[in-house]
Every structure is written in C-alpha cells, then in structure tokens.
C-alpha cells in the first residue's frame, strides 16, 4: 500500500486489513482462543446446542460464524455437536462470513471432515432468513474504526497522512452512551461496521428466534481513548507504519453495542469476562476429560491452554463475552462470577 493523500482512519484500516488478511497468514502473527485449545470451540459448540434448545429446536437453523479464521473453532464445535447433540447437528445450515479468499480456503479444509458444507458470505445481509445462532470470536476487533477528538471548537476526526495523523472537521457525531462522559482532548472511537452488524442482527432478532455471541477484547464500562494497535511479525508495531503487513485492531466498545441492542428491544447478556463465562460452561471439566489418558506433555498443554483463556491475568478478564437474543429467549452461560 502506498499514497500520501490524507485518508480517513477507518478507510485506511479497512484497506490495510484487507491487504493483510488476503496476503498473509495472520496466525503467524497472533494466536486466538480456538488455536490455543480445542476445548474453546467445543464449549461454544455445546453453548450453541443449548441455545438451540432454548430457541425451541428449530429445524433447519442457521449456524453462522463471523470471521472464522482458520475454521478451527467451527471444526471443534461441529465435532462436539455431532457427538452430543446429533439432532442439532442435522438441523444446522452453516454460513460463514469471511472476506479473505485465503482464509475461506483454510476454512473449507478445516471443515472438510465434518460432513457440513458451508456457504460463504461477504456481508451479513446475504444470509437467508430464518432462526439463527451466530458466533464471532475476535471478529469485531478487526473492523475499521473512526476516531473522533473532542476539541474546544467541536468534534474533529483523525485522518491518516503518510504515517501520521491529521485532524479534520468531523461530519459525524458520536452515539451518546449512558454513563460515558467525554472531556476536551479525549479520543472517542466509532466502529460503524460493528454497529451495523448489531443493527442487522437485532432487526432479525426482533422478528424471529435468534442469538449472537461475541467474544472479544475491550472494556465493559463506557470509556474513551485511542485503542488502535498493530501486531507485525508477532510484535506491537506503530499502527500507521507498514500498512498491509500488520494486523490492526481496536478494543470493542461493548457498552455501545449493548446500548444499541437494548434500544432495539432485544435481550442483552453481559458483557461478562471470558474467564467466568468459559469456566461456568465447563472449560476446566472438559479440559480434564480431554487430558485423560494423554501423554503428560499433551495434558499439560491442554491445562495451560484453559488457564490462558480463563485466568484473569491472562485473557479471562480483558476478553469479554456479549450475548444478544430474541427478547423471550434465555441464553446459557451468563451471570457467573470470575474464575479464580
């Protein structure tokens, strides 16, 4: 990527990430929960099966994953579902939201042994209608953000010129989130694609059974601040340098997304800490089962993986889980205390 004309931050981020996901193996630069332990995808498969029951066991049901990466989460989830909830397994119509051709190929390969053939989409609005369950792990953090700056003269916006930021007048207002106060000089992030995802899903949920689970990093309290970050060759890197060679992400604004969903009249669960959520759904029990009869180093790797996902000082607290569903449905796994 090149060019010196100023570009709005979200457009810069969209371009940089599209080039990055299309051209590189992102998983050489970072490790996500499903790549850490198979128990993660299995627990989410079990969660989806219980959620399907809570929806009244519709057949068919759309199982949707947004940003499936290598397809590992879904392969682990489907394997578990096939064993413990075969009726759910038979009802599933699998839809994957993925823009990277390269990752689509990885997903096809990961899922080839499951007997389930996915349909891929570039956008949510091409999904067929009907009851659905959506899973998204580390999807929202990859979506492009805008950054607004509160100044004495009103809202300004950060644009990218070369490898630095410049300020322009903003042509958009931030969404007011209950409990958030903004002082002069504060940066406020706005992830319009994430807001569009929530609006799309809540519109569907208001007229048919549906549930969505977002796992990602971000705060559970309304806040402000610049959270844009880049990982290049496994290491933090200045976000505006080397576009297309680094993974650009930002914290997910869970309070804003929860607020939008509430306004739309759907039920909101969490955001809870990922550790409490996974522990409550049996991450450690499942890990022990998996470790039984395995060589000690494999058993240790499984235990370490579970610890990494759930311990508060690792991913257990920074990562949050947000559940949205049709207003009359229950969702399993929420409202637990943090794992110790």
Binding positions for ligand SAH, rule: CB under 6 A = 21, 26, 32-35, 67-69, 73, 97-100, 103, 137-139, 142-143
Minimum separation from the CB atom of position 20 to ligand SAH (A) = 9
Minimum separation from the CB atom of position 253 to ligand SAH (A) = 17
With respect to ligand SAH, which residue has the nearer C-beta, 23 or 115? Answer: 23
With respect to ligand SAH, which residue has the nearer C-beta, 124 or 339? Answer: 124
With respect to ligand SAH, which residue has the nearer C-beta, 67 or 305? Answer: 67
Minimum separation from the CB atom of position 143 to ligand SAH (A) = 6
Q: For residues 319 and 251, what is the distance between their CA atoms, to the nearest angstrom?
A: 10
Minimum separation from the CB atom of position 44 to ligand SAH (A) = 10
Given the structure tokens 């039920």, which residue do they identify?
267
With respect to ligand SAH, which residue has the nearer C-beta, 99 or 151? Answer: 99
Given the structure tokens 């990961």, which residue do they identify?
110
SS3 197: helix
SS3 183: coil
**278, 310 Cβ separation under 8 angstroms:** yes
With respect to ligand SAH, which residue has the nearer C-beta, 21 or 177? Answer: 21
Distances (CA, A) of 121 to 64, 114, 193: 10, 20, 15
In Å, how far from its chain's centre is CA 162?
Answer: 30
Beta strands in the chain (DSSP E): 7-8, 61-66, 92-97, 119-121, 132-137, 146-151, 154-161, 164-169, 187-190, 210-217, 229-232, 235-237, 247-249, 267-273, 319-325
Query: ∠ at Cα 140 (169, 280), nearest 5°?
Result: 140
Minimum separation from the CB atom of position 80 to ligand SAH (A) = 16
Minimum separation from the CB atom of position 267 to ligand SAH (A) = 24
SS3 245: coil
With respect to ligand SAH, which residue has the nearer C-beta, 62 or 177? Answer: 62
First to last CA, the chain: 45
Across the chain, which distance is largest between two alpha carbons, in Å?
Answer: 66
Minimum separation from the CB atom of position 139 to ligand SAH (A) = 5
With respect to ligand SAH, which residue has the nearer C-beta, 69 or 316? Answer: 69
């Amino acid at each position: 990527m090149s060019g010196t004309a100023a570009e709005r931050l979200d457009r810069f981020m969209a371009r940089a990430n599209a080039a990055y996901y299309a051209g590189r193996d992102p998983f050489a630069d970072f490790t996500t929960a499903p790549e850490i332990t198979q128990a993660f995808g299995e627990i989410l498969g079990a969660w989806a099966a219980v959620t399907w029951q809570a929806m009244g066991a519709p057949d068919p049901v759309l199982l949707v994953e947004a940003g499936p990466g290598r397809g590992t989460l879904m392969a682990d989830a489907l394997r578990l579902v096939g064993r413990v909830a075969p009726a759910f397994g038979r009802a599933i119509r699998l839809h994957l939201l993925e823009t990277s051709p390269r990752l689509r190929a990885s997903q096809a390969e990961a899922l080839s042994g499951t007997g389930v053939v996915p349909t891929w989409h570039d956008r949510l609005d091409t999904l067929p209608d009907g009851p659905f369950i959506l899973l998204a792990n580390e999807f929202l953090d990859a979506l492009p953000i805008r950054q607004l700056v509160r100044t004495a003269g009103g809202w300004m916006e950060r644009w990218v010129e070369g490898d630095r930021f410049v300020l322009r007048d903003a042509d958009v207002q931030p969404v007011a989130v209950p409990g958030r106060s903004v002082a002069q000089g504060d940066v406020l992030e706005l992830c319009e694609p994430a807001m569009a995802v929530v609006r799309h899903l809540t519109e569907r949920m208001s007229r048919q059974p549906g549930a969505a689970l977002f796992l990602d990093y971000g705060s559970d309290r309304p806040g402000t601040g610049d959270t844009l970050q880049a990982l290049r060759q496994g290491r933090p890197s200045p976000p505006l340098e080397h576009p297309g060679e680094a993974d650009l992400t930002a914290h997910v604004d869970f309070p804003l997304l929860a607020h939008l969903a509430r306004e739309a009249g759907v039920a909101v669960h969490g955001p809870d800490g990922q550790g409490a959520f996974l522990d409550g759904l049996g991450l450690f029990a499942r890990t022990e089962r998996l470790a039984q009869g395995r060589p000690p180093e494999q058993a240790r790797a499984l235990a370490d993986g579970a610890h990494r996902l759930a311990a508060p000082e690792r991913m257990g607290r920074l990562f949050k889980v947000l559940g949205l569903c049709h207003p009359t449905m229950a969702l399993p796994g929420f409202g637990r205390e943090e794992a110790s």
